[in-house]
Structure 1
Amino acid sequence: MNVAGGRELAWDGCVNVRDLGGLGQVRPGAVVRMEAPTRLSESGWATAWAHGVRTVVDLRNADECRPDVASRPPGITTVRVPLEPLGTPFYEHWQKIDDLASPLYYPAMLAEHPERVVAATRAIATAAPGCVVFHCAGGKDRTGLLALVLLTLAAASPEEIIADYLLTYERMRQRYAELGFGDQLAAVNECLASHGTTIAASLTSTIGSLTMPDFLLDNGLPEADLATLHARLTT
């Protein structure tokens, strides 16, 4: 089931699935990040269930959702928490800059729409016992932002967070090619270079400016949910 030292997971039908356990203080089996599980086969869902998954947090907008190839086990609850603030000046602004497809927009998102990030975080904190999967479409940008928040809370180093973020480009390379997209890593590097930065520098700056747990508490996460989240991630 597990490859590459235990963090990367082989769930039939999806290519970008990994447990965040082992990064910072996160325990294995607490949270898993992935691309949309639409292509998971019946055996893929069975493997997710065997990993302990009982909740799926979907960060996509409603119009992105597609029918699953195979039915989800009835014991798995899906919670939809759209992360992108569609129809806002923020969204229109960043769509023109990087199409919300690079870490460049992360600081602005955290500053201007923290309530959406906190809502996604709270969905994980208040989920039923068991492993929580969170995903967007490709498991890179929205998923990457939520992973950054969780990992920063769990005292992961910037190096760990950056390395985890970069894994998605390799894992999704073939899937992007199937969709007719070019080299996404090269495209993002080019975009960030035009703004005088890099992926690593942009992520490091975001992590450095994110004070935990104050960010979550100051933006509406109840202290009880913070305690529950910390226990879920680390205990």
Structure 2
Amino acid sequence: MSRELWWDGCVNVRDLGGLGRVRPRAVVRMEAPTTLSPTGWAAAWDYGIRTFVDLRHAEECDPDDAPRPPGITTVRVPLEPIGTPFYERWVPIDNLASPLYYPAMLAEHPEPVIAAVRAIATAAPGGVVIHCAGGKDRTGLVSLVLLTLAGATPEEITADYLITFERMAERYAALGYPDVLGKVSRILAEHGTTVEASLASTVAGLRMPGFLRDNGVTDAELAALRARLLSGT
């Protein structure tokens, strides 16, 4: 079964199933579903999706082009800690648009990440979509946490992260950003690292399930997350 999904109106949709022990149809990552057509929403519904976890802030959220099907629940969990010293420090470094900020975010502001994980764990029966605007960095960070819990390798996590640059290339170019991967790579190079090394370092430093437990995830929530996410549970 291919992880690549094609929901009309969006271009960066993929199932995390098959990475580590993640079971298919449990969690899907994508860009904002704002541009899904009625056919695209029907495809998401038919795939079993019942909850969308939106990692954007309210001011980013444009109206959907087509109505969401009845029965779809949207949970908003703004991930970026806007207005904090952390945010003001990192915007000039990478605009929170590279993996460079991930370790600092997990160390200094784990609360919104935990809130997103909790929303996934406690969602109603059915598949869950996680998304931000482009489906790259905020979505990438939450995906990294889930995939690390599921035992995915750094190589799998990196390969999954890099897919977005290919899938979003035309949309980035239309917005005037023709080489986003090149820009991200240059930022990382200025700090002595690469996409691969940065993500691998984050995974290596993320103790699971200790990170979740240390930040307030209960035994019941962890059991619910594992039951939703993992095959063979």
TM over 0.5: yes
Aligned to 2:37: 41
1:199 maps to what in 2?
A: 195
1:117-166 deviation per Cα after TM superposition (whole angstroms, max 9, x unaligned): 10000000000000000000000000000000000000011110000000
* Residue 27 (structure 2) pairs with residue 31 (structure 1): yes
Matched, 1:116 2:107: no
The equivalent of 2:174 in structure 1 is 178
CA deviation after TM superposition for structure 1 residue 90, in Å: 0.2
Percent identity over the alignment is 72
* Partner-residue secondary structure (3-state), 2:75: strand
Pairing 1:1-235 to 2, within 5 Å after superposition: 5-235=1-231
String of CA shifts for 1:174-201, please: whole Å, max 9, x gaps.
Answer: 0111111131000000000011100000
Question: For residues 59 and 89 of structure 2, what CA distance do their matches in structure 1 show?
Answer: 20
Secondary structure in 2 matching 1:6: coil
Q: Deviations over 1:15-41 (max 9, x none)?
A: 000000000000000000000000000
1:6 CA displacement: 1.1
Describe the superposition over 1:70-94 as per-residue Cα deviations: whole angstroms up to 9, x where unpaired: 0000110000000000000000000
Q: Does 33-42 or 180-189 show the bigger shift?
A: 180-189
Q: How big is each residue's C-alpha offset from its partner over 1:30-85, in whole Å with a ceiling of 9 and x where there is no partner?
A: 00000000000000000000000000000001110000000000110000000000
Q: Deviations over 1:95-117 (max 9, x none)?
A: 01000000000000000001111
Q: Return the letter of the residue paired with 2:55.
A: L
How many residues are matched? 231
Deviation at residue 223 of structure 1 after TM alignment: 1.2
TM-score, length-normalised on structure 2? 0.98
3-state SS, counterpart of residue 202 of structure 1: helix
Take 1:115 and 1:85, find their aligned partners in 2: how far apart are those partners? Answer: 9
Report the 3-state secondary structure (helix = DSSP H, G, I; strand = E; otherwise coil) of the residue aligned with 1:134.
Answer: strand
2:99 and 2:71 map into 1 onto residues whose CA distance is 34
Instruction: Give me the whole-angstrom Cα distance separating, in 1, the residues matched to 2:176 and 2:92.
Output: 21
